[in-house]
Structure formats: C-alpha cells, structure tokens
Chain A
C-alpha cells in the first residue's frame, strides 16, 4: 500500500460543511466494509463538540490529535481558506494531506506546498478526488463500487476520467493496488514522479496507468525517472491553445504542454500510449504478457 492502509486514522477538515459531512459518511461506510479505522475526527473552527455521523468534531487539528490517533487529513474547506487548512494539518505533524478543494488561488497553493514540504508533509491535490486502495482505505470522494483489488496502480490528474478507466480495468478483470488523483491545478503537491516513487517501493504494484492531460510537463518528468512498467493516456489531443479545459491547470501554453507533444515524448521512452480510454486494459495486459 502507498500513503495509507486499514490502520490509517483520518481527520476531515471542513467536517460540518455539506461536502465534508456527506463524504465522512461514505468514507466510514467504506472503512466498515473493509475493517479499517476510517475517519476518526472532524475539524471545523468554532464547531468543536459537535459530531458528524458519530465522528467527534474539534476546533483545530491539534485539539483533535490530543484525543484521536490520526496521521492523515482530507480537506473539504472552501477555496480561499483551504491553503490555511493544509498548513494547519502540516504544522500539527500529519504525514499526509489530501486536498479535495477546487478553486484555491494558486498563490495560496504555492505557499502551502512550500510550507508543507518544510514540515515533511506530503500533499495530494488540490482539486483532486483523493485516493483509494481497494480493500484497504479510501481518502477522498472516489466511488468505491467501481474498484477491485489487484496489482495495477493508477495516477491521474482528473476525477471522472479516472473512474472511467478504473471501471474499464475492473470489467476487464484487472484489479487496482492504489488509485491516486493528483489534481487538476497548475500547482499540485505530489506529482507523477512522487507517486511513482512510492509505487516503485510497493510490492502490491506491478504496473501503473498514468492518466495525464494538457498543461505543464509533469507526465514525462515522472515517466522518465521510474523503472515501474507504465501505460499512459493523455486527454486533450483536440484542446485548442490558450483555453482552460475545465481544470485550472489544463491549458496549452506554448512549448510542449499540448497532448501530442506529451504523447510523442512518452512514446519515445517506449511507453505504450492509449489513443482512447477503452484501449487501456489491452495495453496493460500486453505489458504483463511481455514481462512473463
């Protein structure tokens, strides 16, 4: 497992908001199914003493940690307050922050990422669906019923496209070890390279599907420095230049941030690149065939 397992205690920041409350319910339902600890505390300033789905709410992360044993937090705090919440978790000594929030000002994100790094805290996201290790742990908002346990890791910049690919894999009988949504913003915490480094150490993971999109250059950077067998898919071949395609980070800005350049780079590294999501399971199977 990477990032967490059944034993991971989770804090949810923004616990009393609509999204926070809803997903505490779903995360703990999953935890019950797999026999994990799940969400052990919620945090919302000035709402300490309340409870959400039986989970106690505290005013601060530090207060929560006095009474509960947790190593990770999932952030549902809205845009302009979310970066502060990421720093609060990092400052309290948590190892992992999963930031679901969309629309965080990018200057805030940049500062929060620098701060978290100083504190030795890994941040997944922001603007991401979180992560799910089937049969172990769910930290975020991924729909658990599409997943099946197995040996293929998935790293993706998007949400529903990840579910689409996971669904294709599951239907093809290819289970997943851990699926990580790293987020669609221009500045994110854990990059393809960081997650691949974890997958490389993970005995459960035999291959990784890398789902990228237009904007930036992080896909090739990640693929370059790993020995893990990869299959890639890049969305946005038809995206016009200088238009933001939904995600704040999905924008072709000259240079080599367009899909075709990314695909060409990956192919140059002998990485099979799917031309559409439904091709991914076959390419994964071929990968295993080649290696045995």
Chain B
C-alpha cells in the first residue's frame, strides 16, 4: 500500500529524519486555525498518490498572505484526474543542495539496494537516462541492522556526513516499516541541517497487519469485496470476464483472450481449494463489473473440486452468460451438473476463450 507524503513523513520523523514543519488540512478554511504556525514562505502540496505531482501542478508556492487563496485553488483542481482531498502546508526550506536517495529490493541479489544521486529533484529520471553514472547504487546482506559505513561513503561520495546518517535512518524506516520502497527526493541540505523535503513509502501488503494497518485503501469497492473472499482481482476494462484458479493460469487466460482478438474485463484468481460458495461469490463479482458481456471460467482442479465449482456457478444465478472449462478432480460430475442446467462447456482453454470472443462479437 502506498502512503501519502504526510503519512510517510510522520514515519520518517519517528526514525530521526528531519522533515519540514507542516500543517495538514482538508478544507482551505481550516488554515485560519493555524495562522500562528505560518510564519513566512510556505509550500502548498496536494496529498495525492501521483508520480510527477510537481510537474502536474500539485505543488504551489505561497506566503502568509496568499496561503489560503492558494490552497482554495488547489482544492478546486484535479491532479492528473485525481481530486485533491488533503493539502500539506509546509515551511519553505532554504535549500542549498538537493540529493536523491531511494531504497528498494534487488530481486536477483535478494538484497536491499540503495540508489543515490548528487542531483535530486523532479528531473531525476531524466538525469539517470542521460548519465548512467549519475545514480550510484549499493546492495548488502539483509541481515545487517545498519548500512555498513564503507558502503555509505562509497554511495554518498563528497556529500556531507549528515546525508550519510540520513540514508542510514531511511534504511531503518525501510526495515522497520516493511517497506517495498522508501524514497526521499529531494533530500536537501539547508543552513538548519539535512531535511526530507518529500517522502515516498510503499508498505508490503503482506505486512499490513503487523504494521497496524487495518484497511488497504488503495483498493476500490469491488477490490475490497474480492479481498474479503481472498481473491486476487484486477479490473481491466474489456468485455470478457475471467475467473481462474492460480495467478499464472488466470494471467495466461487473459493473454489468450488478447491472442484471439478479445479484451478481458478482469483478472480474478479464486485461489486454491475453492468451494461452491467461494466460486459463487467469484462469479457474482465478475458479473458486477459494468463492462462484462460474457464470463469465462477456466479452472484446473487439483485441490479444487470441479463439482464444487459447478455448484457455485449454478448458485450464482447471474444473467451474464458463463462459459466453462473445468478439468481435473471430479470434472465429470461437474460437467454433468452444468450440462443439466444448459451451461456451455468446452474441453480446453483455447476453445473456451475462442468461443467467448465469438459470443462478444
């Protein structure tokens, strides 16, 4: 789950990283309550989960006199189509130099990897593209509690030692908060010390419970319904609903739809060992996607029993046509149940997908 800037900054501050003094508001009028804290120049920042927020007009400059009007304007705009619901008003820092630091995982090495650049800011991706040497990286054993000093020196080069300390603190955030990504861009030096001017933090979905996060708010309503039943679910905007068991098989079914010239409406993996009730909920969920015209069920029974699958499809009672391919455990019985109710069935995933594409056309 992605955290918003102000949430990430709270967690950064807990690990001893300096962040600018800020006020969070959800209406421009609320700023009146905080005028004492607003001394001079400020930055008005939309709290939206959007990359390239600054370039899209989500970060504005203001001072004590203009802050309310600036916030009002920002609340009335959308940033890349996303409405602005919260705004962070921060003291404007006297920036001397901007750096970039980002910590993530190297899948091949199975280790944390830290990226660092001596020129941070909005154009970091452009910088990296133009000059491969501009972004340095180090990775190291994940059993170490700190970034080793020699690697910090290698990584940060001539940057002040407070920068090195901050990078190590960011590594603590990365570990303690179960982060998939912890990033500061820009990390800045000011006369008052080193500050995280921005903050990015993505928490591992498998760790939300132990991080005390009850609801994954990245999810839409239908995605939340899916989560309740333990399904993996992604909406894709096409007309052919897809239900499969196992992520690979379901993905492969989507690809086959594209191969035969159709477009999938969703990816729905019911997981292993689904019983009739889970299948029923899955079919109803896929049918609730507005663009769906036909549903393909592609299930390979191992732990999953095909007779249970058939009962679930029948119990769903949806009006959208459901075309079925079931194979494996108790497939005979499942097919018998479905054929009694007049469901269309085909023997292979190629055939069932081809048929669905025809139905839609």
Contacts and interface: CB of A to CB of B under 8 A. Distances in A.
Contact of B142 (A111, A159, A275): A111
A238 B189 CA distance: 44
Interface stretch (A31-39, A58-66, A88-96, A99-107): A99-107
A237 B255 contact: yes
A80 B252 contact: no
B142 A246 contact: no
Nearest to B232: A246
A191 B107 CA distance: 10
A250 B142 CA distance: 22
Given A164-B300, A235-B252, A186 B244 contact: no
Nearest to B263: A238
B112 interface: yes
A240 B236 contact: yes
Interface stretch (B82-90, B150-158, B203-211): B203-211
A21 to B, nearest CB: 13
A237 B210 contact: no
A204 to B, nearest CB: 24
Contact of B210 (A80, A141, A211): A80
Given A111-B142, A114-B143, A239 B251 contact: yes
Contacts of B141: 114
A276 B255 contact: yes
Interface stretch (B33-41, B191-199, B264-272): B264-272
A20 interface: no
B125 to A, nearest CB: 9
Contacts of A269: none
Contacts of B105: 106, 110, 186-187
Interface stretch (A2-10, A69-77, A214-222, A281-289): A214-222
A44 interface: no
Interface in A160-198: 160-164, 167, 184, 186-187, 191
B100 to A, nearest CB: 16
Contacts of B348: 278
A238 B205 contact: no
Given A79-B206, A244-B232, A277 B252 contact: yes
B349 A106 contact: no
Contacts of B349: 164, 277-278
Most A-side CB within 10 Å, residue of B110, B258, B259 = B110
A115 B252 CA distance: 34
Given A236-B251, A238-B257, A277-B252, A115 B205 contact: no
B164 interface: no
Given A161-B248, A213-B248, A245-B251, A105 B206 contact: yes
B254 interface: yes
Nearest to B107: A216
Contacts of A235: 248, 251-252, 255
Interface string A115-130: 1000000000000000
A146 B143 CA distance: 41
B247 A184 contact: yes
A243 interface: yes
A216 B107 CA distance: 7
Given A217-B107, A248-B205, A276-B252, 20 more contacts: A106-B178, A107-B175, A110-B105, A110-B142, A143-B329, A157-B248, A160-B246, A163-B300, A191-B108, A214-B251, A238-B254, A245-B247, A245-B251, A246-B246, A246-B248, A246-B251, A247-B248, A248-B206, A249-B107, A277-B349
Interface of B: 105, 107-108, 110-112, 141-143, 175, 178, 180, 204-207, 209-210, 232, 234, 236, 244-252, 254-259, 264, 267, 269, 272, 300, 302-303, 327-329, 348-350
Q: Which 8 A-B pairs have the closest CB atoms?
A: A158-B248, A246-B247, A160-B246, A161-B248, A143-B302, A246-B232, A160-B249, A105-B207
